[in-house]
Amino acid sequence: MVLSLEQRIFLVLEYHCLEHSCVQTRRSFQRRFNVRRGPSNNAIKALVEKFERTGNVNDDRIGNFGRPRSAVTESNVDAVRQLILQQPWTPENDHAPHPAPQPSHIQDPDATNARYDFANTMLQLVDEDDIDVGNIWFSDEAYFNLDGFVNKHNWRIWETENPLIAVPSCLYSPKVKVWAAISYKGIIGHFFESTR
């Protein structure tokens, strides 16, 4: 309920005249301003406390809602203008402040130590012949496109010049899945599975 200045003054005066009774102050307010519901006890007490603390009953929240506007000073405007004039080829969006990059995965600080401890424990178990190395297998699978397309996401080309090669590929090319495993005893595989 937003109160006018007249209503705020009435509430403070009436509260003091009626011996600090919020209920009687609200009833008097309802009769005087012909409203069905008056302000709550907490609202009346807060208004009186503010008046006693500051000597003012004005609403400080008027015009003070939403996100605060950033201060645009002449010096900031001039600095941005000079930057744009020095680099006219840069897109406007590049001059805007960017949020700090957020890490997509924060690694646990103990993860490196845990991997190190695991590796040392495994080496110790192998040295003591508690683990048969022949029972440890490492496996992986990969998809190969039959039209010659190769996913070069993790490739590094060590050339003095860019080869500038473009290989055309279709959207849904036939693929082959290859699975293999390797261990101390040898290699198992290559198992092929045709997929679409």
Q: What is the pLDDT of residues 10-63, one digit of tens each?
A: 999 999 998 889 999 999 999 999 998 889 999 999 999 989 888 888 877 665
**Per-residue pLDDT for 160 more than 70?**
yes
What is the value of pTM for the model shown?
0.34
Average pLDDT over the chain reads: 81
**Number of folded domains in the chain?**
2
CA distances from 184 to 141, 152, 187 (A): 19, 30, 8
* Residue 122 counted as domain residue: no
* Residue 38 counted as domain residue: yes
pLDDT at 167: 63
171, burial (CB in 10 Å: exposed 0-12, middle 13-18, buried 19+): exposed
> Which stretches of 44-136 are assigned E, i.e. beta strand?
none
pLDDT at 188: 83
**Per-residue pLDDT for 192 more than 80?**
no
**Per-residue pLDDT for 108 more than 80?**
no
Query: What range defines the domain where residue 150 resides?
Result: 132-158+169-195
